[in-house]
Amino acid sequence: VGMGKQEEAFIILLDIDKIFSGEELSLVQAAGE
């Protein structure tokens, strides 16, 4: 059961990382324009 919770937290972190890098990319693109 503990492993399942760790995997869930890891997936959530990956999702946050994807969202964050997407926001960073749009910020960089906006700064470049």
Q: Alpha carbon 1 to chain centroid distance?
A: 24
What is the structure's pLDDT at 1? 60
pTM over 0.75: no
Its domain, for residue 15, covers: 2-31
Tokens of 17: 């990382």
pLDDT digits (tens, 9 = 90+) for 18-32: 887 777 778 777 887
* Domains of the chain: total: 1
CA distances from 19 to 4, 9, 14, 32 (A): 23, 15, 9, 20
Question: What's the mean pLDDT when you consider all of the chain?
Answer: 81
Which DSSP string do the residues of 1-33 spell out, in sequence order?
A: -HHHHHHHHHHHHHHHHHHHHHHHHHHHHHHH-
What is the structure's pLDDT at 19? 80
Encoded amino acid at 5, one letter: K
